[in-house]
Chain A
Amino acid sequence: MGLTGMVKNPRWIVYSLIFIALLFIPRILSIHDLMLFEYGITFAIVGLGFNLLLGYTGLLSFGHGAYFAAGAYTIAMISKYFPQAYSLEILIPAALFFSMVLSIIFGFVCVRHTKIFFSILALSLSMLLFALLFKLYHITGGSDGLRVPLPTLLGMSFKGIRRPEFLSGTYYYFLLGMFSVSFLVMKGIVSSPFGKALQAIRDNEVRAELIGIRVRRYRLYAFVISGMFVGLGGALWTFVNGHVTADLSHWVFSGEIVYMTLLGGFGIFEGPIVGAIIFTYLKLYAMGNTQYWMFVIGGTLIVLVLLLPNGIAGAFAGLWTKIKKVIEET
Chain B
Amino acid sequence: MKKEVSRRKFLKYMGATALTAGSLGATSKALGQAKPIPKDPIKIAAVSFLTGAAAAPFGIPGDNTYKMCADKINAEGGILGRKIDLQSKDEAGGVDAQVKLCRKLILEDKVDVVLGYISSASCLAVLPLADELGGLIVAYDCGTHELMEGAKSPYDVPKFKLGFRSKAHLGIDNIALALYIKKNYPKINKIAGINQDYAWGRDSWLIFETAMKKLMPQVQMVKTLWPPLGNTDFTAHISALMGSEPDIVHSSLWGGDAVTFSKQALGMGFFKKIRMAYSRGEPYPQEVGKDYPEGQIICCAGTHYFLYTPKDKASADLQKWFVGEYQKRYGKYPSYPCYHAFQAIFAYKHSVEKAAKAVGGWPTIEEIAKAMTGITFPTPSGMLTIREDHNGIEDCLVGITKLTPKYPFPILDKMEIFPAAQVNAPIGMKTVDWINSWK
Q: Which residues of A contact B120 (CB under 8 A)?
A: 144
A250 to chain B minimum Cβ distance, whole angstroms, is: 9
CA distance A242 to B95 in the complex (A): 11
Closest residue on chain B to residue A285 by CB atoms: B104
Asked whether A32 is an interface residue with its Cβ less than 8 Å from the other chain, the reply is yes
Contact partner of B95 (CB less than 8 A), chosen from A35, A134, A163, A243, is A243
B228 to chain A minimum Cβ distance, whole angstroms, is: 8
Q: Which residues of A contact B99 (CB under 8 A)?
A: 241-243
Q: Which residues of B contact A145 (CB under 8 A)?
A: 95, 121, 125
Contact with B along A146-167 (1 / 0, CB 8 A): 0100000000000000111000
A246 to chain B minimum Cβ distance, whole angstroms, is: 10
Contact partner of A144 (CB less than 8 A), chosen from B21, B95, B128, B134, is B95
Number of B residues whose C-beta is below 8 Å from A? 36
Tell whether, in the assembled complex, residue A30 and residue B108 are in contact, meaning their CB atoms are under 8 Å apart.
yes
B81 to chain A minimum Cβ distance, whole angstroms, is: 30
CA distance A30 to B107 in the complex (A): 9
Closest residue on chain A to residue B28 by CB atoms: A31
CA distance A287 to B99 in the complex (A): 12
Q: Which residues of B contact A144 (CB under 8 A)?
A: 95, 120-121, 124-125, 198-199
Q: Which residues of B contact A29 (CB under 8 A)?
A: 21
Asked whether B402 is an interface residue with its Cβ less than 8 Å from the other chain, the reply is no
Asked whether A270 is an interface residue with its Cβ less than 8 Å from the other chain, the reply is no
Q: Pick out which of these stretches binds chain B: A109-117, A135-143, A195-203.
A: A135-143
Asked whether B439 is an interface residue with its Cβ less than 8 Å from the other chain, the reply is no
Q: Which residues of B contact A162 (CB under 8 A)?
A: 131-134
Tell whether, in the assembled complex, residue B198 and residue A147 are in contact, meaning their CB atoms are under 8 Å apart.
no
Tell whether, in the assembled complex, residue A142 and residue B125 are in contact, meaning their CB atoms are under 8 Å apart.
no
A43 to chain B minimum Cβ distance, whole angstroms, is: 13
Asked whether B273 is an interface residue with its Cβ less than 8 Å from the other chain, the reply is no
Contact with A along B47-80 (1 / 0, CB 8 A): 0001100000000000000000000000000000
Closest residue on chain B to residue A138 by CB atoms: B202
Assuming the contacts A144-B120, A163-B132, A243-B99, asked whether A32 and B125 have C-beta atoms less than 8 A apart, the reply is no
Contact with B along A57-99 (1 / 0, CB 8 A): 0000000000000000000000000000000000000000000
Q: Which residues of A contact B128 (CB under 8 A)?
A: 147, 242
CA distance A288 to B226 in the complex (A): 33
Contact with B along A268-310 (1 / 0, CB 8 A): 0000000000000000100110010000000000000000000
Within 8 A of B (CB), among A172-209: none
Q: Which residues of B contact A31 (CB under 8 A)?
A: 107
B97 to chain A minimum Cβ distance, whole angstroms, is: 7
Q: Which residues of B contact A291 (CB under 8 A)?
A: 50-51, 90
Contact partner of A147 (CB less than 8 A), chosen from B24, B94, B108, B125, is B125
Tell whether, in the assembled complex, residue B124 and residue A137 are in contact, meaning their CB atoms are under 8 Å apart.
no
Asked whether B267 is an interface residue with its Cβ less than 8 Å from the other chain, the reply is no
Asked whether B100 is an interface residue with its Cβ less than 8 Å from the other chain, the reply is yes
Asked whether B291 is an interface residue with its Cβ less than 8 Å from the other chain, the reply is no
CA distance A288 to B208 in the complex (A): 39
CA distance A145 to B93 in the complex (A): 15
A81 to chain B minimum Cβ distance, whole angstroms, is: 13
Asked whether B433 is an interface residue with its Cβ less than 8 Å from the other chain, the reply is no
CA distance A33 to B95 in the complex (A): 20
Assuming the contacts A284-B100, A291-B90, asked whether A142 and B197 have C-beta atoms less than 8 A apart, the reply is yes
Tell whether, in the assembled complex, residue A164 and residue B131 are in contact, meaning their CB atoms are under 8 Å apart.
no
Tell whether, in the assembled complex, residue A287 and residue B197 are in contact, meaning their CB atoms are under 8 Å apart.
no
Tell whether, in the assembled complex, residue B125 and residue A243 are in contact, meaning their CB atoms are under 8 Å apart.
yes
Contact with A along B197-230 (1 / 0, CB 8 A): 1110010000000000000000000000010110
Tell whether, in the assembled complex, residue B96 and residue A142 are in contact, meaning their CB atoms are under 8 Å apart.
no
Asked whether B103 is an interface residue with its Cβ less than 8 Å from the other chain, the reply is yes
CA distance A285 to B93 in the complex (A): 14
CA distance A134 to B227 in the complex (A): 11
Tell whether, in the assembled complex, residue A287 and residue B21 are in contact, meaning their CB atoms are under 8 Å apart.
no
Q: Which residues of B contact A35 (CB under 8 A)?
A: 103
Tell whether, in the assembled complex, residue A30 and residue B133 are in contact, meaning their CB atoms are under 8 Å apart.
no
CA distance A164 to B25 in the complex (A): 14
Asked whether B266 is an interface residue with its Cβ less than 8 Å from the other chain, the reply is no
Scoring B18, B50, B198, B228 by chain A CB atoms within 10 A of each residue's CB, the highest score goes to B198
Q: Which residues of B contact A226 (CB under 8 A)?
A: none
Contact partner of A137 (CB less than 8 A), chosen from B18, B108, B134, B202, is B202
CA distance A143 to B124 in the complex (A): 11
Q: Which residues of B contact A137 (CB under 8 A)?
A: 197-198, 202, 226
Asked whether B101 is an interface residue with its Cβ less than 8 Å from the other chain, the reply is yes
Contact partner of A288 (CB less than 8 A), chosen from B104, B121, B198, is B104
> Which 5 residue pairs spanning A and B have beta carbons closest together?
A32-B107, A30-B21, A144-B121, A163-B132, A144-B199
Given A143-B95, A162-B132; 15 other pairs, CB 8 A cutoff:
A29-B21, A30-B24, A32-B107, A135-B197, A143-B197, A144-B121, A144-B124, A144-B199, A147-B125, A162-B131, A164-B107, A242-B129, A243-B96, A245-B95, A245-B121
Listed A/B pairs (8) with beta-carbon separation below 8 Å: A134-B228, A142-B198, A143-B197, A164-B133, A243-B125, A245-B125, A247-B95, A288-B101
A residues with a Cβ closer than 8 A to B are 28-33, 35, 134-135, 137, 142-145, 147, 162-164, 241-243, 245, 247, 284, 287-288, 291
